[in-house]
Amino acid sequence: MSQPVIIILTIAGYFLLLLAISWIASRGSDNTTFFTGNRRAPWPLVAFATAGAAISGVTFISVPGMVVGKGYAYLQMVLGFIVGYVLIAYVLVPLFYKRNLISIYGYLEQRFGRSTYRAGAWFFFLSKMLGAAVRFFVVCAVLQLLVFTPLHIPFEFNVIVTIALIWLYTMQGGVKTVIWTDTLKSFCLIMSVILCIYFVATNLGFSFGDMASAIADHPTSRVFFFDNPKEATFFWKQFLAGVFMAIATTGLDQDMMQRNLACKDAKQSRKNMIVSGITQFFVIALFLLLGTLMVIFMERQHIAMPEKTDDIFGMVATHSSMPVIVGVLFILGLVAAAYSAAGSALTSLTTSFTVDILQAHKSDDDRKVTKTRRAVHVAMSVIMGLVIVVFYYISNQDAISAVYTLASYTYGPILGLFVYGMFTRRPVRDRLVPVVCLLAPAVSWCIQWVLVHAFDYHTGFELLIINALITILGLHLLSLGQKAKAENEATVQE
């Protein structure tokens, strides 16, 4: 049986399982089920699903290859994630439950006004659409290489088919379906990585002790980088960036919080956040261990390193000396990561656009809301497909770096808005807030350019923090004179 046929059968089997889960989860669903899951999801299930939700197809492909140039530096950032999840659990989760929000960006309207609310929603739309497209683009590119190119099928058809499949299983059940499919994804991902580690180690003739020693002695297994503050891998830069990246891309992301807000109450959601953060650390560590084993395998087999380290996992998994099951596991893990992440992104984009931008939920006609939601779901699918095709023709860097670089620019204003709103009581000129949100990423880019060319300082993902601080400064400038105005208006009303 040829490789393309094996891959197609693997994808078909997994997708049929997804459809079955979607059908079971979406029975009796309505708009409330789609948006919030009726807030009945048990927290252990959500925690396991959330741990897998943070692992996209980009992580599956890109993290093992990262060990070549950066060792295990990514774990420094993941340690920051755990601290960020604790802050989310004890600061953001109670806030969102107390206000009974469908979309977390509704807080911005309550705190600042309509213009700020829409600015936050549009920045989320841009962030999630670009981030999800990059993640799914990586998977489509791998499938194109392994399946569609050998069958002489163009990339555009590849994208149309995969996006259509994702739209099909998410169109009805919404976040409830996402939680159950993420649970399946987490199981498939973890088992795929563990079994790939086993088969690669077996191919190398390693016992468990031999494997542990070989990984520990290999130069790619370095975890901590304290020696050069100018490098992007420096510990404190990675750690602090991880804290704020977790807050921005999980706590202030409708996609991730939509799952957490499906729990019964804030207490259960808090447990979910902390457990999923710790679980994610160990899952990422497995990917990095697998990456070192694959580098050792390539060295033993005298295989040249590919130009892009994202290609390492696929090269080793489909190598002629590996059993067929390794290639199947690679495809299964990749598809599980990709389909679930893209489905989750489509659901959150649909929710945010329908609720935050169109505000269809304020209509009394539930049938009209359903019609609007379904039309938006189709539109989001089409836009995502178009963005993926564009990335296919312009991409030139490793995928995980692209994801976090985009996040640093697009989530920065969102982080700044929430921090300023939660830790001050000062009103701002609401209509000018979108201008600040647009200027902050532009100024951040200029700062990054100056630091590199004038001081040879390479910013890492701490660019997110710089972006947020510029947003906070801009909001403070917009607040000057507003406090007195607000107090005078309150006095008149009394």
Could you read off the pLDDT of 403-441 as tens digits, one per residue? 667 777 888 898 899 999 988 888 899 999 999 999 999
**What pLDDT is recorded for position 124?**
82
**What pLDDT is recorded for position 491?**
40
442: confidence class by pLDDT, cuts 50, 70, 90: very high
Is residue 130 predicted with pLDDT exceeding 90? Answer: no
Residues 287 and 64 sit within 8 Å (Cβ to Cβ)? yes
The total of other beta-carbon atoms located within 10 Å of residue 431's CB is 12
Is residue 399 predicted with pLDDT exceeding 60? Answer: no
Query: Among 221-225, 249-253, 432-436, 447-451, whose mean pLDDT is lowest?
Result: 249-253
Is residue 473 predicted with pLDDT exceeding 90? Answer: yes
Instruction: Compute the distance between CA of residue 272 and CA of residue 8 in angstroms, rounded to an integer.
Output: 35
Query: Among 1-10, 76-85, 151-160, 229-238, whose mean pLDDT is lowest?
Result: 1-10
201: confidence class by pLDDT, cuts 50, 70, 90: very high
Query: Among 142-156, 174-188, 412-426, whose mean pLDDT is lowest?
Result: 174-188
363: confidence class by pLDDT, cuts 50, 70, 90: low
Q: Greatest CA separation found in the chain?
A: 82
The topology (CATH level 3) of 3-395 is: Sodium/glucose cotransporter (1.20.1730)
164 by Cβ neighbours in 10 Å (0-12 / 13-18 / 19+) ranks as: exposed
**What pLDDT is recorded for position 477?**
92
Both tokens of 388, joined, read: 């993926």
Instruction: Compute the distance between CA of residue 59 and CA of residue 203 in angstroms, rounded to an integer.
Output: 24
Residues 116 and 108 sit within 8 Å (Cβ to Cβ)? yes
Tell me which residue of 205, 140, 245, 207 sits closest to 460, measured CA to CA: 245
- Identify the residue with better confidence: 90 or 402: 90
**What pLDDT is recorded for position 83?**
94
Render 432-479 in DSSP notation, one character per residue: GHHHHHHHHHHHHHHHHHHHHHHH-----TTHHHHHHHHHHHHHHHHH
Instruction: Compute the distance between CA of residue 103 and CA of residue 95 in angstroms, rounded to an integer.
Output: 12
Highest mean pLDDT among 47-56, 158-167, 380-389, 412-421: 412-421
Instruction: Compute the distance between CA of residue 162 and CA of residue 438 in angstroms, rounded to an integer.
Output: 33
Mean pLDDT value of segment 312-327: 82
User: What residues pair up with 263 in beta bridges, in sequence order?
Assistant: 41
Is residue 164 predicted with pLDDT exceeding 60? Answer: yes
- Identify the residue with better confidence: 441 or 134: 441
Is residue 347 predicted with pLDDT exceeding 90? Answer: no
The total of other beta-carbon atoms located within 10 Å of residue 455's CB is 9
Q: Where are the domains of the chain?
A: 3-395
Amino acid at 10: T
Distance of CA 61 to the CA centre of its chain: 14
Instruction: Compute the distance between CA of residue 426 and CA of residue 477 in angstroms, rounded to an integer.
Output: 11
483 by Cβ neighbours in 10 Å (0-12 / 13-18 / 19+) ranks as: middle
**What pLDDT is recorded for position 107?**
86
Highest mean pLDDT among 167-181, 197-211, 459-473: 197-211
The total of other beta-carbon atoms located within 10 Å of residue 453's CB is 9
Tell me which residue of 71, 398, 395, 92 sits closest to 238, measured CA to CA: 71
Is residue 33 predicted with pLDDT exceeding 70? Answer: no
In the chain, the percentage of residues whose pLDDT exceeds 90 is 15
In the chain, the percentage of residues whose pLDDT exceeds 70 is 81
**What pLDDT is recorded for position 84?**
92
Q: Write the CB contacts of 191 (distance below 8 Å, at least 6 apart in sequence).
A: none
**What pLDDT is recorded for position 3?**
66
Tell me which residue of 44, 352, 52, 11 sits closest to 174, measured CA to CA: 352
- Identify the residue with better confidence: 41 or 298: 298
Average pLDDT, the chain: 79
Coil/strand/helix, residue 41: strand
Is residue 361 predicted with pLDDT exceeding 70? Answer: no
Residues 376 and 354 sit within 8 Å (Cβ to Cβ)? yes
Residues 281-311: tens digit of each pLDDT: 888 899 899 999 999 999 998 888 887 787 7
- Identify the residue with better confidence: 44 or 417: 417
47: confidence class by pLDDT, cuts 50, 70, 90: low
Query: Among 81-95, 295-309, 332-346, whose mean pLDDT is lowest?
Result: 332-346
215: confidence class by pLDDT, cuts 50, 70, 90: very high
Is residue 171 predicted with pLDDT exceeding 70? Answer: no
Query: Taking phi first (over 0 means left), then psi (-120 to 50 degrees means alpha), and beta for anything else, what does residue 101 get?
Result: beta
